[in-house]
Structure 1
Amino acid sequence: MTELSEKSFDSPPIVEEPEIPETVKHIKVRFSVFFDGTLNNRNNIDTRLAFEKASDLSKLDFEKHKIYRKCKTEDSFKADYTNVATMEGYVKDSTDLAEKINGYDLTLKTYIDGSGTEDDDKDSAIGYGLGWGPTGVRAKTKKGMDKVVFITTKEVPDPTTIIDLLTIDAFGFSRGATSARNFIYEALFGDKLAPLKEQFAAIGKR
Structure 2
Amino acid sequence: MGRKVQNQPEAEKKTNKDKVIDIRLGIFFDGTSNNKLNIFEYRNPEQYQSRWTKKYHEFKRWTSISYKSDFSNVAKLSDFYQQEKKDNEYFGAIYIEGIATAPREKDTDPGGFDDYMAAATGMGELGINGKVERACQKIIEKIGGILAKNENKGVTGIKTLKLDVFGFSRGAAAARRFVSCIEKPSGERIRHRGRYPSYYDVCLCDVLKKKGKSLPPVNRIQPCFLGLFDTVSSYGLNFKDDVKELTLGVSKPEMVVQLVAADEYRKNFALTRIKTANGKSKELILPGEHCDIGGSHNDGVQEKTILKQEKTIVHHNMVQTLPAIYNGYKTLEQLLEEGWINSKDEKIRVVSNKYSVIPLLLMHSYLKMRFNQDILKENRIISELAEIKKRIDRIEQYPLYRFISTIPEQMEPLFQKDDTDFILLKNIRHHYLHLSASGGLVNSPAKNNIRLIIDDSK
- Which range, TM-score by smaller chain? 0.7 to 0.9
Match of 1:83 among 52, 57, 73: 73
Residue aligned with 2:181, SS: helix
- Please state how far the C-alpha of 1:22 moved relative to its aligned partner: 3.0
**1:72 — aligned with what?**
61
Q: Which runs of 5+ in 2 are unaligned?
A: 1-14, 104-110, 185-202, 223-458
Cα 1:62/1:179, change in 2 over 3 Å: same
**2:278 — aligned with what?**
none
Higher RCO (CA 8 Å, separation ≥ 6 residues)? 1
**1:49 — aligned with what?**
43
* Residues in 2 aligned to 1:178 and 1:159: alpha-carbon distance in whole angstroms: 38
Q: Which runs of 5+ in 1 are unaligned?
A: 1-20, 52-56
* Residues in 2 aligned to 1:36 and 1:47: alpha-carbon distance in whole angstroms: 17
**2:51 — aligned with what?**
63
1:193 aligns with 2:208: yes
Match of 1:143 among 134, 148, 159: 134
Cα 1:204/1:164, change in 2 over 3 Å: closer
Residue aligned with 1:118, SS: coil
**1:161 — aligned with what?**
156
Match of 1:26 among 17, 20, 45: 20
- Please state how far the C-alpha of 1:202 moved relative to its aligned partner: 4.4
May I ask how many residue pairs the two structures share in their alignment?
Answer: 174
After TM superposition, the structure 1 = structure 2 runs for residues 7-18 of structure 1, keeping only pairs within 5 Å, are none
Residue aligned with 1:192, SS: helix
- Please state how far the C-alpha of 1:187 moved relative to its aligned partner: 1.7
Q: Rg: which structure is higher? A: 1
Match of 2:97 among 82, 107, 113: 113
Bigger drift between 169-178 and 149-158 goes to: 149-158
Residue aligned with 1:30, SS: strand
Cα 1:139/1:93, change in 2 over 3 Å: same
Residue aligned with 1:107, SS: strand
* Residues in 1 aligned to 2:71 and 2:25: alpha-carbon distance in whole angstroms: 22
The one-character-per-residue Cα deviations of 1:138-168 (angstroms, maximum 9, x if unpaired) are 0000000100011102322557521111101
- Between Structure 1 and Structure 2, which shows a larger proportion of helix residues? 1
**1:9 — aligned with what?**
none
* Residues in 1 aligned to 2:76 and 2:115: alpha-carbon distance in whole angstroms: 23
1:152 aligns with 2:146: no
- Please state how far the C-alpha of 1:35 moved relative to its aligned partner: 0.3
Cα 1:159/1:64, change in 2 over 3 Å: farther
Residue aligned with 2:135, SS: helix
* Residues in 1 aligned to 2:146 and 2:50: alpha-carbon distance in whole angstroms: 32
* Residues in 2 aligned to 1:60 and 1:136: alpha-carbon distance in whole angstroms: 26
The one-character-per-residue Cα deviations of 1:1-47 (angstroms, maximum 9, x if unpaired) are xxxxxxxxxxxxxxxxxxxx833211111011000000001111000
Residue aligned with 2:182, SS: helix
* Residues in 2 aligned to 1:109 and 1:148: alpha-carbon distance in whole angstroms: 9
Q: Give the letter aligned to residue 219 of structure 2.
A: I
Q: CA RMSD in A?
A: 2.6
Superposition TM-score, scaled by structure 1 size: 0.75
Q: Give the letter aligned to residue 50 of structure 1.
A: N
- Please state how far the C-alpha of 1:196 moved relative to its aligned partner: 4.6
* Residues in 2 aligned to 1:43 and 1:199: alpha-carbon distance in whole angstroms: 29
Residue aligned with 1:28, SS: strand
Residue aligned with 1:163, SS: strand
Cα 1:121/1:22, change in 2 over 3 Å: same
